[in-house]
Amino acid sequence: MRRLRPLLTLGLAVASAVALLLLAANETFVYVDAQGVTHLSNDPSAHERSAGDAHRGADAGELEALWEGPLGDAPVRAGTVDREEARTRRLLEGAVADLRRGENARAAVALEGILRESPMRPEPHWYLALLDRHRGRYDSAEAHLRAFLASSGDGLESWRASALRRLGELDDERRASDASGASDPDGWVTREGVHFRLTVDPALGGGSAAFADTVLLYLEQAREAALRRLDAVAVEPMGVVLYGRGTYDRTHAERFSFRTVGFFDGRMHVVSAAHPAGELRALLFHEYVHAVFRGRTGGDQPYWLNEGLAELSERDSRSQPGLTRSERSLLQRRRQASAWIPLKRLAPSFSGLSDEDARAAYLQAAAAAAWIESRSARAARGRLLVLLGEGRSDDEALRAALGLDTVAIDTALQQEIASEFAGTQKEQALPGEARD
């Protein structure tokens, strides 16, 4: 039986939700922080040294600068009713405030709503361009910047100059993506797949067509698995950078204060063996689901659903559908001992759990995701992600897409597990249930 991932709390000032996972054979720790960046490490003590360093987030001033824009500078548009203009500006102010709080999905919904009513309004295009660049969606960011230039007038001349500069920076981002930031970019090999842009360290034998073909095959399989599971895939071709260990350490030595084996920042950056095999394939399956979930919802919550879907995808990559009977038996024993962790508790994050509870949390997440999959069409699961991306609450989105809220799913899952082991273990009633 594969080893489960223990979770430890990482006390970051900038991230209240940090998960620490343990992948099987290679003892790879994966940190997923509240900013949506995944950090991977094969150093089991990294969490003890990484407080405040593992993810150097922006301070308040940097966050303000991140979403700086033409809010308030645009002149009142001629021919508009003052009340309508005031309402639009309130919506814009609320969206920018959401961006500064990190509520990106809610902000995007508001900005897109303004554009539906006023397609030539320039400010939403500006902020959506910043948001898409922040997410690594360079093509969409470029489209919004060009729309901003087309709709903004002389009153926003300074912002027009900035938009032109940012367009040039997007080209730099694309070139950096191809070179992967290596000191010798000419030695790297980039392969364009149908849905992925793969950049490979020459130390891995990246010039070999067989190597690139194998990894691209893994990635396409990950994409197909995510489509079946989520009815959704990444909107734009995803960048994936594979490094040899030495190159990765040299390239990203300043990024973290402890040794890591990868991270996700809109692209997958992963240390790979020279001969890709099942462990790399499993990691790509897992991380691609996280990327799609984040891309569609704008965040990582509810965390139990996000992690559960990714766990199921990873298991599928190993031809291990769902939980084993021994894993479900463990959940049943915890349920009987009143140690079941409510899914409501696991929605914001898995932080603050003991190692034992963390193991159970990942099992519960996978079990809940499997329960949902067995009782819903993939179109319904796709709609669930869309609703979350529109800023709906977890329960509102779950009820609209699946007909049940978090508590109802939690209760039904516990009942299913209990019935599976009825007669094989002494049953203990759940709190609030009648006893015979």
Q: Please check the confidence at residue 433 and state whether its pLDDT lies above 50.
A: no
Q: What domains can you pick out in the chain, each with its CATH number?
A: 19-57+191-295 (no CATH), 69-178 (1.25.40.10), 304-420 (no CATH)
Say if pTM beats, i.e. exceeds, 0.85: no
Q: What is the pLDDT of residues 86-116, one digit of tens each?
A: 888 889 988 888 787 666 777 888 899 999 9
Give the mean pLDDT of 183-204: 80
Residue 281 CA to residue 223 CA, distance in Å, equals: 12
Task: Name the band, by pLDDT with cuts 50, 70 and 90, for residue 14.
Answer: very low
First to last CA, the chain: 36
What DSSP string describes 42-56?
S-TTHHHH-TTTSS-
Lowest mean pLDDT among 103-112, 128-137, 251-260: 251-260
More confident residue, 217 or 67: 217
Q: What percent of the chain has pLDDT over 90?
A: 31
Could you read off the pLDDT of 261-312 as tens digits, one per residue? 667 677 888 878 777 777 788 888 988 998 899 888 888 899 999 999 999 9
Q: In what order do the strands lie in the sheet with 29-32?
A: 19-22, 29-32, 38-41, 262-264, 268-271, 238-243, 196-200, 189-192
Most confident among 173-177, 408-412, 419-423 (mean pLDDT): 408-412
